[in-house]
Each structure stands twice: as C-alpha cells, then as structure tokens.
Amino acid sequence: MTGAQTPGARIQLNRVELASLLDSLVPGAMRAEQIPGAVVSVVSGGETVFQRGYGVADLKTGRRMNADSTIVRIGSISKVMTAVATAQLADRGRIRLDADVNQYLRSVKVPQTFRAPITARHLLTHTAALDEIRPGTQAERSQELLSLADFLRPRLVRFAPAGAGTAYSTYGITLAGLLVEDVSGLGFEDYLRRNVWLPLGMQHTSIAVPASHRGLVANPYDVENDKPVDAPWEWYHTTPASSVNSTAADMARFMIAQLGGDSVVLSRRMRSEMQRRQATMHPMLPGYGFGWQELMLNGERGVEHGGDVAGFSSLLTLLPDRGVGIFVASHREGSDLRFTVSRGIANRFFPDVTPATPVVSMHATAAEASAAVARYAGHYRANSVCHSCASPRGVHETDFVVNHDGT
C-alpha cells in the first residue's frame, strides 16, 4: 500500500517507498547537522519494514553504522522500559498500581510529607511530585555508580501532594526502578534482561554493555564549530531513567511488542493502559501514559519518548491506531534529525487532513482584550526543576504581564 492512507486505519507501509524516502531524508539531515552516524528502524503491521544504518559509528576506524548490531545510547527512552517492567509487575499481580509504594519498597521509604501517598501510577505518569535535585545524578566512572537505594535514600524530597499536577521526573522513574528491584528481588538490569529483553529477542540491549559487545558500541560524538568531536561516556546513578543501550533492530522488536496484542511481556489490557492518557495539565494539552508522552502527529494520536545523552539523540514514536512505530538514533545530543525523520514519515504516509480552524475576528476593544487575558497574568516557574535547591531567582521562571492594549 502506498501514498496517503485512510485516517485511523491500520496499514502496512510500502517498503520500497519508505526506503526511497529515508535514503533521501536521512543523509541530507546528517549533512545539515554534521552528524557522523544514524540508525533507523520502522515497524508496521506487526513486522519490521525498514531498518538501516547511515554513516559511521567510529570516525577513526570508519566502522559503519549497522541497524542490526551497532549499539547506541537511548537515554531517557529508558523510562519507557522501566514503565514496562513496573506495569508487568502489576499485570502479574505483584503490585497494585494505586497502592502506596511504601507497601512494596524495602530499601527506602517515601517520606509522608503529604497525606496522600505516592503510588506506582504516580511514578509512571510524572505526577509523584518528587524534587529533581541536581547536580549529582552522574558519576565520573562506572566504579563510582551508587545503587538505586543508596542514591535515592537521601534525595527523596516531595514538593507537592502526589497527583496535583504533572512534572517530568527522572527521580520518579528511578524510584519505579527501585520498586522493581525490591518486589522482584532482582537487580534492575537483571529483571529487564530476564523479563523484557530476552523474551522479546533483544540480544544487544543492556545497561552495562558486556565485554563481548563493547566492539559494537558507537562512539559518542557531539558537534562543535560545525565539526564532530568526541563526547564523554556519561554514567548515571539514575539508570532506570537514563542508561539503556540498544540497537535499531532490538528497538524494532520492542515496538512490535508495544503495538501488538497479548505478548510474553504485557497483556493487551496493560499495553493499552500504558498508552492511554493517564494525566495531563489541561484536557487540550498532551499528557502522559505510563512512561509515554502523548503527541498529535498530523491529526494522528500517538505516544513517544526522546532520549538525549552526551554524543547521542534518539526518538521512539508509536502510532497505535496505525500499528506503526519509528525509532531513530544518531550522534549529537539535542539533534533535530530524529524529528526530521519521524515527521517526514508521517507527512508522506499520513498527511494532515484535519480541517483548518477558521480565524474568528473578535473586534474587541483594548479594555475588553485586557480583561479577557488578565487571569493569565502572573509569575510562572517551571515545575520540573529542583524546588529545594538554592537557585537564583529567575532561573526557569518568567513573568506574564498584560498590557493596556490587550497584548
């Protein structure tokens, strides 16, 4: 099947057309950002319809990017895998999503700062209101990495009642990883390996890359003065939120499981629960599922998550109603290549057919316009910050002032 598709229908993307599109789109985007290497995988109709490496994994040796075997860092996409592990425990009756997590935690306890307890649902939907205490989330070398319990124990600070709003939380997902450890009795990586990665055939996915796979890892590169430069390998104490490494082929296997029915990893019911809207700041704004962020892409509802670490950018996008998943990873932290690719695929196969919203002329006076927006005036502060840190006033803050003319 080729060209634009009927809205909402599950489809099988045309492999030839997809390859032609990406073989033009990806190299151009790489040149525009001076990116040495990238990998892409696309799934549709329950199978991988495209996976390819572009450019090099190692500038010194010329080793090519390979979608099957080149290991890349996926950064915060790790949060989705942690959500899968936590949801799996609920699926198997080991935890209740709406129970106080202190019932299950053995290594640490969440402080009872507020009457309402924190639940697993709060952790997975970024509504636990745990403070994002920075710096201190990274180690200088692997030998200095703290256990999840030792890292979290002195840092569990609540800044608001759970469920009061959304605030993207590395700490919340890291605590979910510790919950997995305490309930299962396994180390976090060991749990994922046994219960998610190996059952799905994800042979090249890990947190601590085994010695046998180290020669497959892409070197991290960022760009300075329009030239690629070596980037450091970052070591995070917040491993469930930050530290998974994988390949494009393995991520295709993960996407297929997330788009299918019942699987060895999650039931159909729990998979749907992960992807539906669980929390949002406003009904008209994108919200969160379990680990996933909502998006509207050319009128199609989807879920996605990005990842950024030194030397790498990545993006995992699912369009569940279409049965389509897209994974993109490249060198250069903060790169736009991933969005160019995912949006390029959407524009080709799912062009936006939503009718344009008509512009209505209000003909309001300046006084009427000022009164209409006056309720939005005030001092605003980002919520995904360290509330307990002594940061200078004005950092992550802004003032919204209504002028007399209504602007």
Q: Domain for residue 359, yes or no?
A: no
- φ/ψ of residue 308, rounded to 5: -140, 120
> Are 78 and 20 in the same domain?
yes
8 CA to centre of own chain: 24
Neighbour tally for 263: CB within 10 Å: 16
Q: What is the CATH number of the domain that holds 21?
A: 3.40.710.10
Strand runs labelled E in 216-271: 221-224, 227-230, 235-236, 245-246
Query: Is the model's pLDDT at 296 over the cut of 90?
Result: yes
Q: Domain for residue 255, yes or no?
A: yes
Q: Domain for residue 405, yes or no?
A: no
> Are 58 and 126 in the same domain?
yes
> Are 374 and 305 in the same domain?
no
Strand runs labelled E in 15-124: 37-44, 47-55, 72-73
> Are 389 and 298 in the same domain?
no
If pLDDT is split at 50, 70 and 90, which confidence band does 1 have? Answer: very low
pLDDT for 21: 98
Q: Domain for residue 38, yes or no?
A: yes
> From the DSSP assignment, how many helices (H) and strands (E) are in the chain?
11, 14
pTM above 0.85, yes or no: yes
Distance CA 169, CA 175 (A): 10
State the chain's maximal CA–CA distance in angstroms.
71
> Are 226 and 310 in the same domain?
yes
Handedness of CA 252, 258, 261, 262 (dihedral sign): positive
Nearest one of 129, 196, 180, 152 to 384, comparing CA atoms: 129
pLDDT for 261: 72
Q: pLDDT digit string (tens) for 24-76?
A: 999 999 999 999 999 999 999 999 999 999 999 999 999 999 999 999 999 99
Q: Domain for residue 406, yes or no?
A: no
Q: Domain for residue 68, yes or no?
A: yes
Q: Mean pLDDT for the chain? A: 92
Which whole-number Å values give the CA distances from 226 to 32, 34, 36, 60, 106, in the listed order?
10, 6, 12, 18, 49
Q: pLDDT digit string (tens) for 168-187?
A: 999 999 999 999 999 999 99
Q: Domain for residue 407, yes or no?
A: no
> Are 228 and 338 in the same domain?
yes
Handedness of CA 379, 384, 388, 390 (dihedral sign): negative
**What type of residue sits at position 108?**
V
Distance CA 13, CA 345 (A): 10
pLDDT for 232: 97
pLDDT for 372: 72
pLDDT for 63: 99
Strand pairing class (37-44; 47-55): antiparallel
| Residue 384: domain span | 366-400
205 versus 404: the higher-pLDDT residue is 205
If pLDDT is split at 50, 70 and 90, which confidence band does 402 have? Answer: confident
pLDDT for 401: 84
Q: Which residue has the tokens 């039931």?
A: 267
Query: Is the model's pLDDT at 394 over the cut of 70?
Result: no
Distance CA 86, CA 125 (A): 12
If pLDDT is split at 50, 70 and 90, which confidence band does 393 have? Answer: low
Query: Is the model's pLDDT at 7 over the cut of 60?
Result: no
**Percent of the chain scoring above 70 in pLDDT:** 92
Mean pLDDT computed over 145-163: 96
> Are 22 and 164 in the same domain?
yes
Query: Is the model's pLDDT at 134 over the cut of 80?
Result: no
> Are 284 and 156 in the same domain?
yes
> Are 302 and 370 in the same domain?
no
pLDDT for 2: 45
SS3 52: strand
> Are 144 and 291 in the same domain?
yes
Query: Is the model's pLDDT at 3 over the cut of 60?
Result: no
Distance CA 51, CA 327 (A): 9
Q: Domain for residue 129, yes or no?
A: yes
How many domains, the chain?
2
Mean pLDDT computed over 140-152: 97
> Are 226 and 182 in the same domain?
yes
Q: pLDDT digit string (tens) for 241-274?
A: 999 999 999 999 999 999 987 689 999 999 999 9
> Are 302 and 373 in the same domain?
no
Distance CA 87, CA 150 (A): 24
**Percent of the chain scoring above 90 in pLDDT:** 80
Distance CA 19, CA 319 (A): 19
